[in-house]
Amino acid sequence: MKWKTEILNLKAYQPGKSIDEVKKKYGLEKITKLASNENPFGCSPVVEQMLMEYKPVRAIYPDGYAASLRQTVADHLDVSEKQLIFGNGSDEVIQIISRGLLKPGVNTVMPSPSFPQYRHNAIIEGAEVREIALINGEHDLEGMLNAIDENTSVVWVCSPNNPTGCYINQSSLHRFLSQIPADVLVVLDEAYYEYVVSEDYYDALSLVKEFSNLIVLRTFSKVYGLASFRVGYGVGNENIIQALEPLREPFNTNVLGQAAAAAALQDQEFVENCKRHNRKGLEQFYSFCDEAGLNYFPSQGNFVLIDFNRDGDEVFHGLLAEGYIVRSGKALGFPTSVRVTVGSEEQNIGVIEAMKKLLASN
Ligand SMILES: *Cc1c(COP(=O)(O)O)cnc(C)c1O
């Protein structure tokens, strides 16, 4: 086959281990998955109720424009419907952006370590990837600015950043955006936006009004608890969105996903509750780390990256044997850490017990 040379060394996405896989392998009854930053409380009862009653026509294609969801999100954010693009998860919006702007001869600037899909898609498109190392878990915005030249077409920013949980504050982000050439697209991935509590966090939608080269990505997979339905979206200047829309597959979001996402938005109390529980959960992990003398990055997301000062895979396997699936930092660019999703209070107690046991054992 005459494959694009760019794809020859790519590996398929390695998902976190599935619950069934671990049950079988370790002969365990109860498995807790804290590996993919999913919502431990599921989704809103409003969504559950809607799904019980909703009987969409099977044989007819969904509304590719997602008109009803579009209207709901536009109202919720107070933006125009034309400022939105929906994807089969925000993963797909990342793919669409990459397809539209990246190619051999151009470069793209991103933090590292960060969400791997920016790099992955850039490689497929044959663009030069300029990865700028984080400093103390945070974006090196100066370094990123310095890496931009006349061949840069996309700059990726992830705040709160996966896997560190660090965020960018209002003044730093504003200064950064002000210095980026108007013909360079900035993608601000806010997958964990709803969990943020920092007071000096920016308002991404005001930034979209001010900077016509900014697109913000959000998702229903995290706090809304709808990861299986695959709905995410981008919000930006109308001109950017209208340029991207033709690249979207005609029926990229499905009928159940559209309905579930629209229903989920109606229950902001659920979101607030999850956010509150998440804060308490993070405090559980922080106290454990402080007591055990382990370093971590204070997180604005629903996960925490903990440095165990030993091989991350080893910690990962140790916790797996106790029935807890976390993410080894090895594959995330932090070889002696693990990333743990904040679970329910009980789940957090459980995984922390398992961590203590592991620390005590050697
Ligand atoms: C989970 C995640 C996404 C992907 O979300 P989907 O909408 O499920 O595709 C995007 N960006 C970051 C940083 C994430 O952690």
The domain spans of the chain are 19-37+269-361, 45-266
Q: Assess whether the C-beta atom of 162 lies below 6 angstroms from ligand 1.
A: yes
User: 113 preceded by cis ω (within 30°)?
Assistant: yes
What separation in Å is there between the alpha carbon of 155 and the centre of ligand 1? 17
Q: Assess whether the C-beta atom of 91 lies below 6 angstroms from ligand 1.
A: yes
DSSP character for 182? T
Ligand 1 pocket test, candidate residues 221, 224, 233, 254, most atoms within 8 A of CB: 221
Mean pLDDT, residues 135-163 taken together: 98
Task: Give pLDDT tens digits for 299-341.
Answer: 999 999 999 999 999 999 999 999 999 999 999 999 999 999 9
pLDDT for position 20: 84
Closest CA to ligand 1's atom 1: 191
Mean pLDDT, residues 151-168 taken together: 98
According to DSSP, the residues that pair with 361 across neighbouring strands are: none
The runs of H, that is alpha helices, within 249-343 are 255-265, 268-292, 312-321
Give the separation between CA 234 and CA 212, rounded to whole angstroms: 13
Tokens 């809607």 belong to 50
- pTM of this prediction? 0.96
Neighbours of 197 (CB within 10 A): 12
| Distance (Å) of CA 349 to CA 40, 78, 326, 352 | 14, 40, 14, 5
Give the separation between CA 41 and CA 302, rounded to whole angstroms: 12
What separation in Å is there between the alpha carbon of 219 and the centre of ligand 1? 7
What separation in Å is there between the alpha carbon of 361 and the centre of ligand 1? 35
Q: Is residue 19 very low, low, confident or very high in pLDDT (cuts 50, 70, 90)?
A: confident
pLDDT for position 333: 96
How many helices and strands (H and E) does the chain possess?
Answer: 13, 13
Ligand 1 pocket test, candidate residues 13, 95, 222, most atoms within 8 A of CB: 222
Closest atom of ligand 1 relative to the 93 alpha carbon: 9
Four-residue CA torsion sign, 248, 253, 258, 261:
negative
Q: Assess whether the C-beta atom of 232 lies below 6 angstroms from ligand 1.
A: yes
Q: Assess whether the C-beta atom of 122 lies below 6 angstroms from ligand 1.
A: no
**pLDDT, the chain, mean:** 96
Type of residue numbered 325: I
Closest CA to ligand 1's atom 5: 90
Closest atom of ligand 1 relative to the 221 alpha carbon: 8
Ligand 1 pocket test, candidate residues 91, 233, 303, 339, most atoms within 8 A of CB: 91
Neighbours of 226 (CB within 10 A): 26
pLDDT for position 120: 97
Closest CA to 314 of 244, 252, 361, 276: 361
pLDDT for position 126: 97
What separation in Å is there between the alpha carbon of 362 and the centre of ligand 1? 36
Tell me how far the alpha carbon of residue 334 is from its chain's centroid.
17
Closest CA to 188 of 228, 211, 156: 156
Residue 150 phi, psi (nearest 5): -70, -15
360, pLDDT greater than 90: yes
Q: Assess whether the C-beta atom of 227 lies below 6 angstroms from ligand 1.
A: yes
Closest CA to ligand 1's atom 6: 89
Q: Which residues of 73-92 are buried (b: 16+ CB within 10 A; e: fewer)?
A: bbeebebeeebbbbbbbbbb
Give the separation between CA 346 and CA 12, rounded to whole angstroms: 34
Contact 325, 313 (CB under 8 A): no
Task: Give pLDDT tens digits for 215-274.
Answer: 999 999 999 999 999 999 999 999 999 999 999 999 999 999 999 999 999 999 999 999
Tokens of 258: 């559209």
Q: Is residue 99 very low, low, confident or very high in pLDDT (cuts 50, 70, 90)?
A: very high
362, pLDDT greater than 80: no
Mean pLDDT, residues 274-300 taken together: 98
Q: Is residue 279 very low, low, confident or very high in pLDDT (cuts 50, 70, 90)?
A: very high
pLDDT for position 89: 98
Give the separation between CA 237 and CA 82, rounded to whole angstroms: 8
pLDDT for position 25: 85
Q: Assess whether the C-beta atom of 189 lies below 6 angstroms from ligand 1.
A: yes
Q: Assess whether the C-beta atom of 224 lies below 6 angstroms from ligand 1.
A: no
What is the number of residues in the chain? 362
Kindly calculate the radius of gyration of the chain based on its CA atoms and give it in whole angstroms: 20
Q: Assess whether the C-beta atom of 115 lies below 6 angstroms from ligand 1.
A: yes
Query: Does 45-266 carry CATH code 3.40.640.10?
Result: yes
Containing 140, the helix (H) or strand (E) segment is none
Percent of the chain with pLDDT over 70: 99
27, pLDDT greater than 90: no
115, pLDDT greater than 90: yes
What separation in Å is there between the alpha carbon of 259 and the centre of ligand 1? 20
Percent of the chain with pLDDT over 90: 94
Task: Give pLDDT tens digits for 210-232.
Answer: 999 999 999 999 999 999 999 99
Ligand 1 pocket test, candidate residues 85, 120, 162, 194, most atoms within 8 A of CB: 162
What separation in Å is there between the alpha carbon of 91 and the centre of ligand 1? 6
pLDDT for position 168: 98
The CATH code of the domain at 19-37+269-361 is 3.90.1150.10
pLDDT for position 349: 98
